[in-house]
Structure 1
Amino acid sequence: MRILPVLALSTLVAGLVVVVSGSPAQAAALPTGARSLESVNYPGRFVRHAGGLGQVEAVTSGSTAQLKRDATFTVVNGLASPTCYSLQTRDGLFLRHRDYRLRIDANTGEAAFRADATFCAVDGAEAGSVALTSYNYPGRRIRHRDFALWLDATQDTAAFRADSSFRLVSPWAPKTAKGPVIPGLFADPHIASFNGRYYLYPTTDGYAGWGGTYYKAFSSTDLVNWTDHGVILDHGPDVSWADNSAWAPAVATANGRYYLYFSGGLASGNTTKQLGVAVADSPAGPFRDALGRPLVTGSQFSGGQAIDPMVFTDDNGQSYLYWGQGVARAVRLNADMVSFDAAQVRVITPSGYNEAPFVFKRNGVYYLMWSENDTRSEDYRVAYATGSTPLGPWTNRGVVLQKRLDAGIKGTGHHSVVRAPGTDTWYVAYHRFAVPAGNGTNRETTIDRMEFNADGTIRPVVPTL
């Protein structure tokens, strides 16, 4: 179900929806981020969870902090569809229906759960309000009945429309922490700077077995406020040789175009992963498969898994492709950015390496970074080495980013770095277990500063919330 743009312009002021245009929208698009949902026909009552069940209840400025927290949700990318939405609690759980009753549960990543926790937005009973239809039962909507939330069959009555309509208003429990920088479950972020904007290209997370199928792009001028550019490549319709395992995208530019390098697999029991490359005229896509076949096949090289591609372009314009889980490989790319001499592929695996190679250059020194341990482990972390060429040899410098249990931060890894244009200010984007209820398949993306010592070594990055 594709959501059309809102035709009526509305803004959030002091917790109320103020409709600027006089005519209601014909379809609804929701703002992502923290919101509370107020009942249209019972103003002052808000969707909240209590004892694991969804209901509408009165919330005021004098309500307890816990009640305000329970009445606050984060609108995020739909777990089952990027054109719909999911509602995440402050404790990292998701509003979902089970036996048509609305409740909160931890995301299992299974297809049934993702569908149960995904809702599509349509116009509500009043201008500026919305109704939420079930993704997997499109003829049913969330409505309150005796103040309990149910998924009921849509009825063409004024009473039902009012019971199923909500205003998205300012959150009762505003976010106090910095991260994640993009709401929802995203991992393996590649950050880059193109044409005066920063771009993030993450893996869409929250799938059992990391079985996601599409990539989105986000852009920002300040690393704080991000624009969602939607799906830029979908393995389903866009890639003939892969239909799942849409992992770890990375984007480079050359020849006036943009090249998206990605991992892909098949859902038909074939666990072999391969690397592909897609091309676009804009960093925001859409991208199309450049070859119609893999750039690197799973059986092309012995040892390791063909995942986690990354491209570094040196000052002289020469680009290098890096990839691999278990074994790190590197090779010079041809000028077309979509081919290379397989005989020139070099193994550059450093001690402790597991996956996610990333290379950059500063003050004439090359830095090779990677992730250690398994992404499902809270000890997933980033280490690095330095060298005098893009292909090494490399001097191991140790771990530079790791968990911070005093802040509840675990599984910090699969990173990328970017330099603020025209400065020596650097940032590192990485994923962590979603705070507080995440794990190795429920991860979120964040960004911190990355600083250097006088001798060029990287100072340990202190992960922040």
Structure 2
Amino acid sequence: MTTIHRRRRAVSRALTVCLAASLLTVTAGEPASAAEIPTGARSLQSVNLPGSYVRHSNYLGSVAAVGASSSAQAKSDATFTVTPGLAGGTGCVSFQAANGMWLRHRDYRVRLEANSGSTTFLADATFCVRDGSAAGSVRLESSNFPGRYLRHRNNELWLDPSTTNPGTFAADSSFQVTAPWVAGRRSPVIKGLYGDPNIAYLNGRYYLYPTTDGYNGWSSTRFKAFSSTDLLNWTDHGTILDLGPQISWSDSRAWAPTIAYRNGRYYFYFCADTNIGVATSTSPTGPFTDALGRPLVAAGFRSGQMIDPHVFTDDDGEAYLYWGNGYAYGVRLNADMISFDAAQVRTFSLPNFREAPFAFKRNGIYYLSYSVDDTRSENYHVEYATATSPFGPWTHRGTILSKNLGLGVKGPGHHSVVKAPNSDTWHIAYHRFAIPAGDGMNREVTVDAMRFNADGTIQPVVPTL
């Protein structure tokens, strides 16, 4: 072998070694982590301050002692609902407090703020789970500032680089995931058998108006109302409308109500024996009185069943009534909220539509979501479409809520949607078969988070128990 050939081989081996080393350096990056935080209600205990937990106080993140004798407020403030990361990412999570706000960093300080829906907020509120300094512990790395971690400093929570105080940083930024100090949102959110929930935010409280279940053929005659300030603890306000003594034209099959507000009055739209009626009150908890003495939409008015009303009020104050089973209908209500021009009723073309249309608006996009299949089927689920006007034309976008047999969730549907005040935080209320032995006439109501992608499409809802 000539000298030049030997030199070429030596150079080739050197390049190969350098290339291999380079590839190892590039592919190593942040080490693969086996750590994870299960979704649901959780608390985070400091590794090097035993007995101290991540909590919020005055809208700032901190680490403070919490124990069995601590106040209910302290325990609540140290409990978070862990969700998949708002900004996405494998192994990344976000933390929502009981008041609906989220832990996020801003100016490297960890704060509790409402979800604005901005790309920056979603990234600031997303943390990727890494292995902690102690067995079974975790560290939380910023999704948009790699190399910075959630860390306690003088009992305050900051987002600090890993080069800070190398001697203690690993322990300062490590936390044990523990059972929650306060049980998280449980399903069902209201005790008993109910279906077809309509959720609304009125006068500083969330309200639920469901169908009362547990009757053969859904033959209940009464409507009830429930309210909450935090979506966790619900007050039962009792019967707000009873078909028998209060509605002269029907006394059976009280189904699927919805509520709207205008000019100091609440308008309660309801099904009664496959007609749609409307009652009014000066209070969201009634008592309500029949506004017309007859149906607003009578059985046989159009093809399909005249059931499942929903009223959407647009930004300009115009109100629209949607309804239908088998066919989806919509019409603009007159200013009195109890009449409309029958000649202006629209029929919508919606793939797979069965019933329960629900309209809302976000960032200039109109959404029309609806239930598919039969409410007695475990395959009952929710799909949706979008448009640039309240009457469409509608573009089908897919499924947002469906069964999860691993959790025992069957037949989730007939939903409604609400936005938390002064935020871009959204929730979806829906029913599912009662667990463990329910069916389409024995259902339970639950409320879960509903999140959006950057392009405005809705992420599939993750059912919780």
What is the RMSD of the two structures over their aligned residues, measured on CA atoms?
Answer: 1.2
Kindly indicate whether the alpha-carbon contact (under 8 Å) linking 2:349 and 2:394 is maintained by their aligned counterparts in 1: no
Give the deviation of 1:176 after TM superposition.
Answer: 8.4
Give the counterpart letter for 1:281 in structure 2.
Answer: T
Kindly indicate whether the alpha-carbon contact (under 8 Å) linking 2:356 and 2:370 is maintained by their aligned counterparts in 1: yes
Distance in 2 of aligned mates of 1:314 and 1:445: 27
Instruction: Give the number of the structure whose alpha-carbon radius of gyration is greater.
Output: 2
Of residues 200, 207, 214 in structure 1, which corresponds to 2:215? 207
Local SS of the residue matching 1:406: coil
Give the counterpart letter for 2:332 in structure 1.
Answer: R
Alignment pair present for 1:397 and 2:397: yes
Distance in 1 of aligned mates of 2:291 and 2:349: 28
Deviations 1:57-85 (A, max 9, x none): xxxxxxxxxxxxxxxxxxxxxxxxxxxxx
Q: Counterpart in 1 of 2:350?
A: 350
Alignment pair present for 1:181 and 2:182: no
Superposition map of 1:185-264 within 5 A: 185-264=193-272
Kindly indicate whether the alpha-carbon contact (under 8 Å) linking 2:185 and 2:232 is maintained by their aligned counterparts in 1: no
Distance in 2 of aligned mates of 1:398 and 1:300: 30
Local SS of the residue matching 2:415: strand
Q: CA distance change for structure 1 residues 426 and 177 in 2, over 3 Å: closer, same or farther? A: closer
Deviations 1:29-71 (A, max 9, x none): xxxxxxxxxxxxxxxxxxxxxxxxxxxxxxxxxxxxxxxxxxx
* Length, aligned pairs only: 284
Superposition map of 1:352-371 within 5 A: 352-371=352-371
Distance in 2 of aligned mates of 1:241 and 1:191: 27
Superposition map of 1:42-441 within 5 A: 178-265=186-273, 273-301=274-302, 303-441=303-441
Give the counterpart letter for 2:319 in structure 1.
Answer: S
Local SS of the residue matching 1:236: helix
Q: CA distance change for structure 1 residues 455 and 177 in 2, over 3 Å: closer, same or farther? A: closer
Local SS of the residue matching 1:366: strand
Q: Counterpart in 2 of 1:58?
A: none
Local SS of the residue matching 2:410: coil
Give the deviation of 1:253 after TM superposition.
Answer: 0.3
Deviations 1:170-198 (A, max 9, x none): xxxx9887110000000000000011100
Q: CA distance change for structure 1 residues 369 and 292 in 2, over 3 Å: closer, same or farther? A: same
Give the counterpart letter for 1:283 in structure 2.
Answer: P
Task: Give the TM-score, by structure 2 length.
Answer: 0.60
Distance in 1 of aligned mates of 2:198 and 2:376: 19
Kindly indicate whether the alpha-carbon contact (under 8 Å) linking 2:227 and 2:236 is maintained by their aligned counterparts in 1: yes
Distance in 1 of aligned mates of 2:184 and 2:284: 31
Q: Counterpart in 1 of 2:109?
A: none
Deviations 1:343-375 (A, max 9, x none): 000001301000000000000000000000000
Deviations 1:75-98 (A, max 9, x none): xxxxxxxxxxxxxxxxxxxxxxxx
Local SS of the residue matching 1:244: coil
Deviations 1:305-362 (A, max 9, x none): 0000000000000000000000000000000000000000000130100000000000
Give the deviation of 1:386 after TM superposition.
Answer: 0.4
Give the counterpart letter for 2:237 in structure 1.
Answer: H
Give the counterpart letter for 1:223 in structure 2.
Answer: L
Give the counterpart letter for 1:432 in structure 2.
Answer: R
Local SS of the residue matching 2:350: coil
Local SS of the residue matching 2:244: helix
Task: Give the TM-score, by structure 1 length.
Answer: 0.60
Distance in 1 of aligned mates of 2:315 and 2:190: 31
Query: Identity of counterpart residues, as a percentage?
Result: 65
Distance in 1 of aligned mates of 2:349 and 2:193: 30
Distance in 2 of aligned mates of 1:421 and 1:380: 30
Whichever structure has more helix as a proportion of its residues is 2
Give the counterpart letter for 2:244 in structure 1.
Answer: G
Distance in 2 of aligned mates of 1:457 and 1:306: 29
Kindly indicate whether the alpha-carbon contact (under 8 Å) linking 2:240 and 2:288 is maintained by their aligned counterparts in 1: yes
Distance in 1 of aligned mates of 2:294 and 2:282: 20
**Is there any run of 5+ residues in structure 1 with no aligned partner, and where?**
1-173, 266-272
Distance in 2 of aligned mates of 1:307 and 1:341: 18
**Is there any run of 5+ residues in structure 2 with no aligned partner, and where?**
1-181
Local SS of the residue matching 2:334: coil
Distance in 1 of aligned mates of 2:184 and 2:261: 36
